[in-house]
């Protein structure tokens, strides 16, 4: 992809796949991540904590502090894919 030095994202498979617009790899990376449920189904504190753990797992994959400029998928313009 023009303008992006993909080698800077080699340590983050998700960021690298996005920078390269490698849809197949991105799907493989995202497939095992937990799915967030319907917020209406949260009825107890333990439900809330379980959902928070899932959200943290997803967030850790997407918002890595060790990538240049703390780039997130939207930094690469993936909303236009």
CA distance 29 to 41: 27
Q: 44 by DSSP, 3-state: which? A: coil
Q: Using the CB atoms, write b or e for 23-40: b if 16+ within 10 Å.
A: eeebeebeeeeeeeeeee
CA distance 15 to 61: 9
Inter-residue contact 70 to 9 (CB < 8 Å): no
pLDDT greater than 50 at residue 1: no
pLDDT score of 48: 92
Tens-digit pLDDT profile for residues 13-54? 888 888 888 999 989 988 988 888 888 889 999 999 999 998
């Amino acid at each position: 992809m023009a303008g992006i030095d993909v080698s800077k994202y080699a340590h983050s498979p998700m960021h690298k796949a996005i920078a390269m617009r490698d849809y197949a790899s991105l799907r493989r990376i995202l497939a095992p991540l937990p799915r967030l449920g319907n917020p209406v189904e949260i009825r107890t504190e333990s439900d809330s904590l379980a959902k928070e753990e899932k959200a943290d797992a997803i967030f850790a994959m997407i918002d890595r502090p060790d990538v240049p400029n703390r780039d997130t998928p939207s930094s690469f313009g993936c909303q236009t894919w």
